[in-house]
Structures are given as C-alpha cells and as structure tokens.
Amino acid sequence: MDIATLGGQLLGQIPLGDIVLYLTPFNLFMFVGALIFTTLIAISRTETQVEAEFGSLNDNEVKVGLKEFKIRRFLAVVCGLATAGAMITGDVFNFTLLVALIGILNIGIVSAVKQIDVLNAAFQYGLIAMIASLPLFGGAAIILASTGTLSILEIAQLSFTTPMMFFASLLLILGIAGETGIAPFYATKAEMFRTPGSPFIIIIHLSSLLVIVRAIEILLIINKPF
C-alpha cells in the first residue's frame, strides 16, 4: 500500500524517537489549517448575541464573562493544537490519544457556560464521549496485538489484512464517531453550538471534521483494500 495514493506525494518524515510524524500535501494542509484557526481563536474576542426579549420591545445581550472567556480560550487553543497534532501523527496510539483529548476539551469548552440547555447537551455528549473512549483505545490495542506495531508507516508496508485488523477498525470508527459527535451522535452536539463564544465553539466543529477526514486516511491504510 502506497501512502502517496491517498494523500499525495510523501514530502518528508519527522522522527521524534519512537514517534514518527509524516507529511503529505494532505496532512500538511490539514495541519496548517488547524494552526491558522487556532491562532485566530487565540487572538479573537467573543461576539455578543442579541436576542429579542419576550414580552417587550427590548433586546437581550448575551456576553461571555472575562473569567469564562479565559478558561474557554485556553481549552480551545489546546484543542486546536491537539487537532493539529492528530493531522500529522504517524502513530495510531497517538492519534487515538489526541482524539480522546479533543473529546475531553470539547466537553470542557461548553461546560464552562452557565446555561441549562447547553449544559444538558454537554452532559449527554460527555457521556457518549467517555463511553466511546473504550472502543477507541481498544481498537488501537487490537491493531498493536495483530500487527506488532502502531506506526502507520509500518502498517502501510504490511502485505496482509487480518480479520482482527478489520475488527479493530470497526472499533476505531465507533470510538471516533462517539468522540467527535458525528451522526448518529450529532443531535446533542448541535445543541451545544447555541452557546455564545463563537471562536471557541468553532474549534469543536473544526476538530470533529478534521479528525474524521484524517481517520478515513488511517482506516484505509490499516485495511489495505488492495
């Protein structure tokens, strides 16, 4: 299996001990995209939501308080960095670790908001994300057990796919779907987006979509359909 058939020509590798990062145009674009968004989040202030007041002609302005702003910005920046890391990592365990971290940070970004509906949605999403961590790490563990390595570059060079690798991929899909809150888990997550703090909630959406795109690449490499 040639990694270049998926993300384009291999531009280079960054060996950091056991951890080997690799770069194709696909990985590089996603990595840079995540970093640009993270930088913007770090320097932005939040919007003021304007809502019509019930029973009068006045407007109700919903703002983010300074204390809440600081903690949410910190969590959003860490989430952006974790997402960027997940885009270039060449190791399945690191990928799952960063995805789990993204799930935790997503809950944190929303649970700092003092709105009952939003907190309910965050609680439900949190339950799913926590449950999903079991198949997520279980999938990575089974891949290690069945291939002897967690390196994506090594797995790409294997000439076989065993049923256990396929089973591990199914667990990974389940784990990633739960952690990122995609369909069929998206309903509770969308409710979380009603909260103010636009630059912070965007990282929740950004991390989910980018992780899914990267997961497609990793799963195709593991399963080697050809």
Partner 1 sequence: MNLMANILLNVLIAFLIGSLLYGLQRKVMARIQTRPGPPIIQHLLHTLKFFIKESSFPYTAAMPFYIAIASMLCAIWVSAVIVGPVIEGSLLLFFGIYALQKIVEHNAGSSSGSPYGKLSCVRAVFSAAAEVPLFAVLVIIYLQTQTMVISDIINYQAVNGPLIFTIPLAALMFFVLILSKSPDSPFAITKGKDIVSGYETEHFGVLRGYLMISESIAWYMLLWVFLTVFIGPLGILGYLVGMVAISVLIAFINATTPLLNPNHSIMVQITFAFIGIVGSLVLMMVM
| Nearest distance, CB of residue 197 and partner 1, angstroms | 8
| Nearest distance, CB of residue 208 and partner 1, angstroms | 8
Among 52, 134, 145, 164, binds partner 1 (CB under 8 A): 52
- Please enumerate in sequence order all residues whose Cβ is within 8 A of that of 194, keeping only pairs 6 or more positions apart, or say none: 115, 117, 118
Contacting range for partner 1; rule: CB under 8 A; set: 95-103, 131-139, 145-153, 196-204? 196-204
Among 37, 95, 125, 137, binds partner 1 (CB under 8 A): 37
Q: Which of 111, 118, 121, 35 is nearest to 80 (CA)?
A: 35
Among 147, 172, 217, 222, binds partner 1 (CB under 8 A): 217
Q: Is 45 in the site for partner 1 (CB under 8 A)?
A: yes
User: In this structure, how many other beta carbons lie within 10 angstroms of the beta carbon of residue 52?
Assistant: 10
The answer to whether the beta carbons of residues 206 and 37 sit under 8 Å apart is yes
- Please enumerate in sequence order all residues whose Cβ is within 8 A of that of 31, keeping only pairs 6 or more positions apart, or say none: 23, 84, 87, 88
HSE value, Cβ hemisphere, 13 Å, CA-based, for 135: 17
Q: Is 48 in the site for partner 1 (CB under 8 A)?
A: yes
Report the distance separating Cα 13 and Cα 18, nearest Å: 12
Q: How far are the Cα atoms of 14, 37, 41, 81 from residue 74, in angstroms, in the given order?
A: 27, 14, 10, 11
> 3-class DSSP state for residue 24?
coil
Q: Is 8 in the site for partner 1 (CB under 8 A)?
A: yes
Q: Is 205 in the site for partner 1 (CB under 8 A)?
A: yes
Contacting range for partner 1; rule: CB under 8 A; set: 49-57, 74-82, 150-158, 161-169? 49-57
Q: By rule CB under 8 A, what string of x and - marks binding of each residue 174-193 to partner 1? A: --------xx--x--xx--x
| Nearest distance, CB of residue 62 and partner 1, angstroms | 9
The answer to whether the beta carbons of residues 19 and 32 sit under 8 Å apart is no
Q: Which residues sit at the interface with partner 1, rule CB under 8 A? A: 4-8, 24-26, 29-30, 33, 36-37, 40-41, 43-52, 61, 182-183, 186, 189-190, 193-194, 198-199, 201-202, 205-206, 209-210, 212-213, 216-217, 220, 225-226
